Amino acid sequence: MKAGAATISRRALLQSSAAFGAVLLTRCESLSRTARGSGPARLPEIRLGQDELILNASERPLVLPGHNMPVPAWTYGEKVFPVLRARAGETMRVRLANRLREHTTIHWHGVKVPNAMDGVPYVTQPPVLPDEDFLYEFSPPNPGLFFFHPHCNTAEQFGRGLAGVLIVDDGTEDDYDDDILCALRDWRVDGEGNFLPFITNDGAGRAGSFGDLRTTNLRIAPEIDVPAGADIRLRIVNLDPTRSGEIGIAGAEAVVIAIDGNAVEPFSFSTWRLGPAMRLELCLRSPPDGGVFRLLDYFSAEPVTLAAFSARGAGKRPGEFLPSALPAPRLPEPDIANANLHEMELSASAVATQYADLAPIVLPDGRTINLLDSLCTSATTLWAVDGRTWPEQGHENAPPPILRFARGETAYIEFFNSSRFPHPMHLHGHAFKVLSASELPRPVHWADTVLVMPDERVRIAFVADNPGNWMLHCHIIEHQETGMMAWFEVY
Ligand code: C2O
Ligand code: CU
């Protein structure tokens, strides 16, 4: 790191902050809880307005629950997992100030951003180097629950805590008596203040490396006060790099109102398999004063309590539980009848593919990149999309796009998982319609991440209407970083 350059860019940043009236995360966190709910088990929220928000990515000591020694976490502010609230259609400005010792970017998972704002180093922007900063500026078009995270050396950066939640409002949030976020995250830590390795051979080659310390909003099974007899919007986001849960509610009637931020026609909720990066929004009726309900993970033999909710006060809604639907997502309907189905096999792979004579990646600003950074790739390649792996360390060029679509064309894809482990498949820049799944039954719904179970065939479709180069990968980060990653082009 060049010390001189660092000092200058820091000073330049301070000046630009003053000039644009930027808000530092540390200052406004305590001021901006939501009007309805507060309390220690809720993550503080930051309402984005005209001003720029600075996310200062830096190493900070973090004392995790049940631990005495802090671990060296990497976070975007004084608090882990900042929760940003923006309004659909309004411009948001978030400046990433990189104060880490390595480069990073911010990817806005699930948000339909212009390609240049998608935060994939080498593919949509140059990496933001240590002591540099980068302004993300876009208007999220659709309301919903999203999150953000780095997109290179992700196992470590995300594993140490670099992530945040983005809630995009459209006014319908006022229809509920409370609005609660539950951010699920396990931590790979020992008792001595160390992180455990973020990539292990065993994990990367199998279902991933799990963390033993399971948290919701950074607490172990927190207790959250909610209004009694009320209609509550519960937003659940899986911020874990690895774990899928079988999420359920005990003690309250609930319906599903949105999946990955996209409204669904409400259907009654029993459980939902929530893979890494996936989000689920419920509307539920809380019990009368003194009653308790729980958020559970039924995946293991003994259900795990993720959070408990205590109802307090006079009942808000004496009548029947008649949850109202959110406005239907404004997404173009794919034209499946006239589309070609592309089968995409998800498989284990022993050999790395060679990408010898390929053109360099062209960035949105016209610059080209010939060399892939070793941080974005792994020395070992274990997984493949359609027999192709994301280049191994040492490869000099990016692979060719796995698919190309003309703007406005319907993309119709069948994922086929020939491996023994589930893969939460995610693609950038678009929401897709999950049309069918052969193993794990699911209603037709819009999503940006879909679990593909072993031997399963899952069909998705979307209108490729957002031009650019977009990633497609498994969201078990160890799989992503050992080859299960590709990109497609919308031209
Ligand atoms: Cu949430 Cu390409 O990532
Ligand atoms: Cu996977």
CA dist 489 to 140, 403, 432, 456, Å? 21, 6, 15, 26
Q: Residue 203's closest CA among 392, 380, 416?
A: 380
Output the CA torsion sign for 209, 452, 247, 262: positive
- Per-residue confidence of the chain (491 residues) as pLDDT tens digits? 333 333 333 333 333 333 334 444 433 333 333 335 667 799 999 999 989 999 999 999 999 999 999 999 999 999 999 999 999 999 999 999 999 999 999 999 999 999 999 999 988 999 999 999 999 999 999 999 999 999 999 999 999 999 999 999 999 888 999 999 999 999 999 989 999 999 998 899 999 999 999 999 999 999 999 999 999 999 999 999 999 999 999 999 999 999 999 999 999 999 999 999 999 999 999 999 999 999 999 998 899 999 999 999 999 998 999 998 999 999 999 999 999 999 999 999 866 554 444 556 666 677 666 656 666 766 677 888 888 887 644 345 667 899 999 999 999 999 999 999 999 999 999 999 999 999 999 999 999 999 999 999 999 999 999 999 999 999 999 999 888 999 999 99
pLDDT of res. 1:
30
- How many A from CA of 441 to the centre of ligand 2? 19
User: 351, exposed or middle or buried, with CB in 10 Å at 0-12, 13-18, 19+?
Assistant: exposed
Q: Which atom of ligand 1 is nearest to the CA of 473?
A: 2
- 471: Cβ below 6 Å to ligand 1? yes
pLDDT of res. 399:
77
Q: Estimate to the nearest angstrom the gap between the alpha carbon of 276 and the chain centroid.
A: 8
pLDDT of res. 378:
67
Helix (H, G, I), strand (E, B) or coil at 295: strand
User: 36, exposed or middle or buried, with CB in 10 Å at 0-12, 13-18, 19+?
Assistant: middle
User: 446, exposed or middle or buried, with CB in 10 Å at 0-12, 13-18, 19+?
Assistant: buried
Q: Residue 455's closest CA among 423, 424, 419?
A: 419
pLDDT of res. 144:
96
Tokens matching residue 257: 């109102």
* CB atoms inside a 10 Å sphere around CB 248: 18
Which residues are placed with Cβ below 5 angstroms of ligand 2, an ion? 423, 474, 476, 479
pLDDT of res. 66:
94
- How many A from CA of 408 to the centre of ligand 2? 29
Residue nearest to atom 3 of ligand 1 (CA): 109
- 107: Cβ below 6 Å to ligand 1? yes
* Angle ∠(389,469,425) on CA atoms, nearest 5: 50
The percent of the chain in helix, strand and coil, each rounded to the nearest 5, is 10, 40, 50
pLDDT of res. 20:
39
- 426: Cβ below 6 Å to ligand 1? yes
- 279: Cβ below 6 Å to ligand 1? no
- 109: Cβ below 6 Å to ligand 1? yes
Amino acid identity at 388: R
CA dist 151 to 104, 119, 128, 138, 424, Å? 7, 7, 11, 18, 16
CA dist 407 to 119, 347, 435, Å? 21, 29, 21
